[in-house]
Copies of this chain bind each other. A is one copy, B any other.
């Protein structure tokens, strides 16, 4: 992957930023992200799918191949989960040097309520199963190879209780950009796992070696490092920016006195056990955690800040039940994945 030495974003990166959608951080105030504010990362084009002729083909090493319509799927036991999803590339544009791809700052996240069926109610692997491949209907060229978007999960993971095939989001049929008519949903994993516009599920007897598994989405120290696969989300917390913004710089302006800070924290490795806030970069204070909702959804937090006039930098960091926390400085890798460095928000507190 190309690297950029400076802060300057290239025309190719701008093209990606102009079509993919971040969640404006003030939307952290919503428990469930309103439709249209959830992040979107779309590798190729958004397909237009005719739901009448669409079928999900389930094949390979299965007890019996199946071809399922949307009505067939709706007749199966229904499951609803509220899930926080983050792009593996969130934070990429904060890395130095910057891997050249979709230049996310911190907005590639969202929480939605998804409804569908369990994968295990649709797929019955036969003996010898190793991986379950999920194939999207979206096509394009990447790394010089034309491909449909495909990712796989080990079959035990694919059949876990919480892995869904979703046909609704926030109570309505999936809109085109979220994978209409059906998408995979793997709670706790980065978003590249949750294949959209599903066309086929295929059980295979070997480890899947497709482009999005073996070339993209790996944590590589250098170009020749085979690296480790990107899987579950590392912990991250974000602050809903207080006060009002400057249009151009997005710097925040706040009146002095008591300011109720709020935000969200999540991890794919375990429940959030603490969130800490700092206004001086060295003293950290425990934030209050809101009651937990769906274990796959972000956890709300709040902190009462006594804001004195002047320039400040607010920071937050979280720790999960596995003991993982957020580093002060961005962890670097060739693809620019999983940068969960501490969130920093510069704030100007006005004079009284």
A interface residues (Cβ-Cβ under 8 A, vs B): 6-19, 21-22, 24-27, 29-30, 34-38, 40, 42-46, 48, 93, 100-101, 103-105, 107, 139-142, 146, 175-178, 241, 244-251, 253
Contact = CB atoms under 8 A, between A and B. Distances in A.
Contact of A9 (B9, B19, B46, B146): B9
Contact of A107 (B19, B25, B46): B19
B176 A15 contact: no
A146 B244 contact: yes
A177 B36 contact: yes
Nearest to A4: B8
Contact of A176 (B16, B34, B42, B141): B34
A262 to B, nearest CB: 12
A246 to B, nearest CB: 4
B140 A244 contact: yes
A146 B251 CA distance: 12
A34 B175 contact: yes
Contact of A175 (B11, B35, B107, B247): B35
A29 B48 contact: yes
Given A22-B18, A104-B18, A34 B177 contact: yes
B8 A247 contact: no
Given A22-B19, A24-B46, A10 B7 contact: yes
A18 B87 CA distance: 13
Contact of A8 (B10, B17, B18): B10
A37 B247 contact: no
Nearest to A240: B45
B12 A45 contact: no
Contacts of A245: 44-45, 140-141
Nearest to A253: B141
A46 B34 CA distance: 12
A36 B107 CA distance: 16
Contacts of A100: 248
A241 B25 CA distance: 31
Contact of A17 (B12, B14, B29, B253): B14
A177 B29 CA distance: 13
Given A26-B45, A37-B176, A176-B34, A12 B244 contact: no
A209 to B, nearest CB: 19
A140 B175 contact: no
Given A11-B7, A141-B253, A176-B34, A244 B44 contact: yes
A177 to B, nearest CB: 6
Contacts of A244: 44-45, 139-141, 146
Contacts of A44: 244-245, 247
Contacts of A29: 48
Contacts of A13: 9
A331 B55 CA distance: 48
Nearest to A38: B36
A266 B18 CA distance: 21
The 3 closest A-B pairs by CB, nearest first: A8-B8, A9-B9, A36-B36
B24 A42 contact: yes
A142 B43 contact: no
Contact of A177 (B37, B104, B142, B247): B37
Given A7-B11, A9-B11, A141-B253, 8 more contacts: A14-B17, A18-B105, A24-B45, A26-B46, A36-B178, A44-B245, A45-B241, A146-B244
